[in-house]
Amino acid sequence: MERWVVDISEWDPTPQDLSFALSVLPPSQQSSVTRYVRLEDRKRALVSRLLQYALVHQVLAIPYDQIVINRTLEGKPYLECDEVCVDFPNFNFNVSHHGDYVAIASEPLCLVGVDIVSIVIPQDETVIEFLQSFSSYFSSFEWHNICTAGTNNDMLIEFYRYWCLKEAFVKAIGSGLAYDLDKVEFHHSCWANISVNIEGKATREWRFWLLDLGKNHLVSIARGHPRSASGSYMRTLRRSEFDEKEYHAALHLPNVGFVSRTVEQLIPVSHKAPVHHT
């Protein structure tokens, strides 16, 4: 179980720095980074992939050149592994980036989803207009809580809290945007002890955490049962069924805090830094 986060606003790479960091990745991954034109988008995509390779390397001790990361049809990344994953039958990870931060979370048995939101005040419309465009994604209970949160800023923050949790859930199961988000209803006690009702039914097979990253950014973690995985993602897992005792032991493991990483820390030691001649 790992939780890492990188503040990309603190990384101001030269074109040479970008090329060097990109060279850590296999060619198949490089093209998914270079397709972005804006520097900030390219930085997020690059750091997202560096986090995946660095985490897999640290947790499973797989050499970088032997790590194979693919994506499901819905776009969820997963590790292609055989005997190396025996100790962690459902080792899986999820990444998210928004605003200044890029984060990754991994779990040995349960599904994991992570989502970051940057609480941004709408520029071209009022807060009410912005929120109204998302109303269909919330249950009537959640929408009432958003609309009665207080000031416009209070409503915006409440919206992002719910949205962050919903995205983490959808990313954990690997369904992409196809899931009906209004059927995933969250309950909480001051945003602790978070639980979820799915299609009107309470479930005890999921746990959620909502944390403040600072600088008006939130991050959420979803941890759930492997049998909830979407069809294409289910096929990437080794096990989907567990006895109740074994599963609940994994579900109720303490959540670990996010560890701050720099981009330099994601570069393998074997990947020697280039020498610049003047």
Q: What percent of the chain has pLDDT over 70?
A: 94
Higher pLDDT pick, 33 / 273: 33
Q: Is the pLDDT of residue 278 over 50?
A: no
Q: Which backbone phi and psi does 90 adopt, to 5 degrees? A: -120, 35
pLDDT of residue 243: 84
Average pLDDT over residues 181-192: 96
Residue type for position 104: I
Please report the DSSP string for 207-234 in residue order.
EEEEEEEETTEEEEEEEE-GGGS-HHHH
Residue count of the chain: 278
Average of per-residue pLDDT values in the chain: 91
Higher pLDDT pick, 70 / 277: 70
8 Å CB contact between 54 and 46: no
- Identify the CA nearest to 166 among candidates 139, 142, 185: 185
pLDDT per residue as tens digits for the range 102-160: 999 999 999 999 999 999 988 889 999 999 999 999 999 999 999 999 999 999 999 99
Q: Is the pLDDT of residue 216 over 60?
A: yes
Cα 105 to Cα 45, 147, 180, 220: the distances in Å are: 16, 31, 24, 10
Distance (Å, whole) CA 9 – CA 7? 5
Q: Which of 66-70, 89-93, 97-101, 175-179 has the lowest mean pLDDT?
A: 175-179
pLDDT per residue as tens digits for the range 47-82: 999 999 999 999 998 888 899 999 998 889 999 876
Q: Is the pLDDT of residue 92 over 70?
A: yes
Going by pLDDT thresholds of 50, 70 and 90, the confidence category of residue 179 is confident
- Paired with 112 in beta bridges are 223
Q: Which backbone phi and psi does 114 adopt, to 5 degrees? A: -135, 145
pLDDT per residue as tens digits for the range 13-24: 999 999 999 999
User: Which residues, at least 6 apart from 22, have a Cβ–Cβ distance to it below 8 Å?
Assistant: 30, 33, 34, 46
pLDDT of residue 277: 39
Average pLDDT over residues 233-243: 85
pLDDT per residue as tens digits for the range 239-268: 888 888 989 999 999 999 999 999 999 998
Q: What is the pTM of this model?
A: 0.92
Higher pLDDT pick, 28 / 216: 216
- Identify the CA nearest to 5 among candidates 241, 254, 274, 214: 214
The domains found in the chain, sorted by start residue, are: 2-266 (3.90.470.20)
8 Å CB contact between 268 and 63: no
pLDDT of residue 271: 67
Q: Is the pLDDT of residue 231 over 90?
A: no
